[in-house]
């Protein structure tokens, strides 16, 4: 019996269109990025389900979410990669020109490679929980409003007096909106995530902002290894060695929302959380720079929280998943 050759559809996403390549050699097809056309695309690909290795899309500021979610809900294997990964792969394979059609073929080629990777199962998209998705949206909106408020406050400091009244009115409006979003976030946390958050009740440094970031923007918490969760957030030290050169370990990338909030949480934890404080002071005593020590504390906090969720055992300083020797 002949086994049909697998195909790896690549979809380049724009605001209004989807460029589909069934493989990295075939002619592409342009489809409208709207509900009816997405439904037709899903039905079409479902007919090819037995032949599909993986469908690869590139994250495009949220425009990819409707089609990715629809494909995933239909039981099709879907991956979403960030644009930097896709472009780096394209350059490495000699794809120097860039058009929607070329990008779709590149994604198909990249999908074939990822399908053969040992990381395939981890990279496959899972349908987000509705509550987690709503909380993440509120968290994004909170951060947008805070950024807008900072910008307006900065304008007030350097603006002409004739502009002050307008700026102050905008600041008051933003304050009201931030308070409303925070109230909604608090309601979501208490209504849908109370059981999980109870595990962190006595973890000093894990306040409302950190709780919202963990529940809304890091659904993988408790499901990955310490190394995987550290890389996902962008706090794991990465090698930079070549030949005889032993470079400094660096951290980069990761989920900005979680990483930024974790940074603020670590600033609090090195003062008020005994386990993290002792760890931080020990690193300083070894001659580590304060920033390096703080990032190490971020990593430690994340791995502790990951272990707590995985075990389901509430935090306490003597918890075996919060080792004193780091």
Residue 123 CA to residue 133 CA, distance in Å, equals 18
Best CA proximity match to 54, nearest among 9, 98, 94, 105:
9
Residue 178 CA to residue 168 CA, distance in Å, equals 15
The alpha carbons of the chain give a radius of gyration, in whole angstroms, of 23
Cα of first residue to Cα of last residue in the chain, in angstroms, is 55
**Bridge partner residues of 18 (DSSP):** 13, 31
Residue 116 CA to residue 142 CA, distance in Å, equals 39
| DSSP H or E run through 31 | strand 29-32
The half-sphere exposure of 256 on its side-chain side, counting CA atoms within 13 A, is: 2
Best CA proximity match to 88, nearest among 79, 99, 80, 96:
96
Chain Cα centroid distance, residue 188: 20
Best CA proximity match to 325, nearest among 306, 300, 308, 295:
300
Chain Cα centroid distance, residue 121: 17
**Contact (CB, 8 A) for 8 and 108:** yes
30 φ, ψ (degrees, to nearest 5): -95, 130
**Contact (CB, 8 A) for 196 and 315:** no
In the sheet with 29-32, reading across from the earlier edge strand, the strands are: 29-32, 17-21, 10-13, 55-58, 78-81
Spell out the per-residue pLDDT of the chain, length 326, in tens: 566 789 999 999 999 999 999 988 889 999 999 989 999 999 999 999 999 999 999 999 889 999 999 999 999 999 999 898 999 999 999 988 889 999 999 999 999 999 999 889 888 998 878 999 999 999 999 999 999 999 999 999 999 999 999 999 999 999 999 999 999 999 999 999 999 999 998 899 999 889 999 999 998 999 889 998 998 898 877 555 556 646 566 555 678 889 999 999 999 999 999 999 999 999 999 999 999 999 999 999 999 999 999 999 998 776 544 444 44
Residue 30 CA to residue 245 CA, distance in Å, equals 48
**Contact (CB, 8 A) for 199 and 313:** yes
**Contact (CB, 8 A) for 183 and 267:** no
Coil, strand or helix at 58: strand
Global pTM reads 0.78
């Amino acid at each position: 019996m002949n086994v049909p050759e697998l195909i790896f559809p690549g979809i380049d996403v724009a605001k209004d269109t989807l460029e589909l390549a069934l493989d990295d050699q075939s002619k592409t097809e342009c489809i409208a990025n709207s509900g009816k056309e997405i439904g037709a695309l899903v039905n079409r690909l479902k007919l090819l389900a037995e032949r599909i290795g993986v469908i690869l899309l590139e994250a495009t500021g949220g425009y990819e979410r409707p089609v990715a979610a629809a494909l995933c809900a239909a039981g099709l294997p879907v991956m979403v990669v960030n644009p930097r990964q896709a472009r780096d792969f394209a350059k490495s394979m000699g794809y120097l020109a860039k058009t929607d059609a070329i990008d779709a073929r590149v994604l198909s080629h990249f999908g074939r490679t990822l399908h053969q990777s040992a990381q395939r199962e981890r990279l496959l998209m899972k349908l987000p929980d509705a509550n987690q998705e709503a909380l993440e949206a509120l968290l994004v909106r909170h951060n947008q409003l805070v950024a807008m408020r900072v910008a307006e406050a900065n304008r007030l400091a350097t603006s002409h007096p004739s502009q002050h009244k307008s700026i102050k009115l905008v600041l008051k409006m933003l304050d009201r909106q931030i308070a409303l979003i925070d109230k909604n976030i608090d309601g979501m946390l208490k209504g849908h995530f109370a059981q999980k958050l109870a595990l962190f009740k006595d973890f000093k440094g894990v306040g409302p902002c950190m709780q919202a970031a963990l529940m809304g923007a890091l659904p993988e918490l408790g499901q990955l290894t310490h190394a995987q969760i550290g890389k996902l957030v962008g706090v794991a030290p990465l090698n930079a060695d070549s030949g005889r050169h032993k470079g400094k370990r660096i951290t980069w990338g990761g989920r900005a929302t979680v990483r930024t909030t974790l940074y603020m949480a670590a600033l609090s934890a090195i003062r008020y959380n005994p386990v993290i404080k002792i760890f931080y002071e020990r690193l300083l005593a070894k001659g580590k720079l304060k920033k390096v020590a703080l990032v190490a504390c971020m990593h430690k906090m994340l791995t502790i929280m990951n272990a707590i969720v995985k075990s389901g055992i509430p935090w306490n300083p003597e918890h075996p998943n919060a080792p004193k020797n780091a």
